[in-house]
Amino acid sequence: MSLRLELEGKLLIAMPGMGDPRFQHSVVFLCAHSDEGAMGMIINKPANDVNFKEILEQLSIKVTTDMGRQHVYFGGPVEVARGFVLHTLDYTSHLHTLRVAGIGMTATQDVLEEIGKGTGPAQAIMALGYAGWGPNQLENEIASNGWLTCDCSHELIFDIPNAEKWGAALSTLGVDPMTLSATAGRA
């Protein structure tokens, strides 16, 4: 018998010693969680070899605004050629925007077209790929000390610098990153 956790709209914080280097110091926004599994996006790992403006140009999307240094993120190891945009709800796609915990997630090209024109969401994270878990897989990883969970906030997702998100997420739980151990204790 497993305990059903309500995780949709939460942040997952990777614990030291998780074992999968792709998730080391990751913070993941959980877009969906059900009996069938879970889906989320890593929000603090920019893909250094990918340029947002170049992606738009490859998709033949005209860029009419200064995009500054817009990062593209490694969203997770599943479907890494597929793009997803986490964004504020001042923009919603007439096609498909999933609303979770006050955050929008759109995986259609229209959000990219609006960002290129400067009429998209005020804040957005574009990611390639996502993190996915099968039935009970995430719950088992949490029980095995792989992840901590915390409430999400716009600030944690959009405002805090990427290198500081992991520590900032831990601090919402009152946890000092320096006190974490890679092994779980049992009483």
Is 184 contained in some domain? no
Is residue 142 in a domain? Answer: yes
Would residue 62 count as lying in a domain? yes
Quote the pLDDT of residue 177: 80
Tally of helices (H runs) and strands (E runs) in the chain? 5, 9
What are the residues whose beta carbons fall under 8 Å from the beta carbon of 45, sequence distance 6 or more?
Answer: 26, 73, 74, 162
* CATH number of the domain encompassing residue 43: 3.40.1740.10
Give the span between the Cα atoms of 74 and 65, in whole angstroms: 24
Q: What is the mean pLDDT of the chain?
A: 88
Q: Which two tokens stand for residue 10?
A: 């939460």
User: In the chain, how many domains are there?
Assistant: 1
- Residue 105 in domain: no
Which pLDDT score, from 0 to 100, does residue 128 have?
95
Give domain status of residue 104, yes or no. Answer: no
Q: Strands of the chain (E only): list them.
A: 10-14, 27-34, 37-42, 72-74, 78-87, 97-100, 103-106, 124-133, 147-151
In a domain, 65, yes or no: yes
97-155 residue pLDDT tens: 999 999 999 998 889 999 888 889 999 999 999 999 999 999 999 999 899 999 999 99
* Domain membership of residue 151 as a residue range: 10-85+128-179
pLDDT digits (tens, 9 = 90+) for 9-27: 999 999 987 878 899 999 9
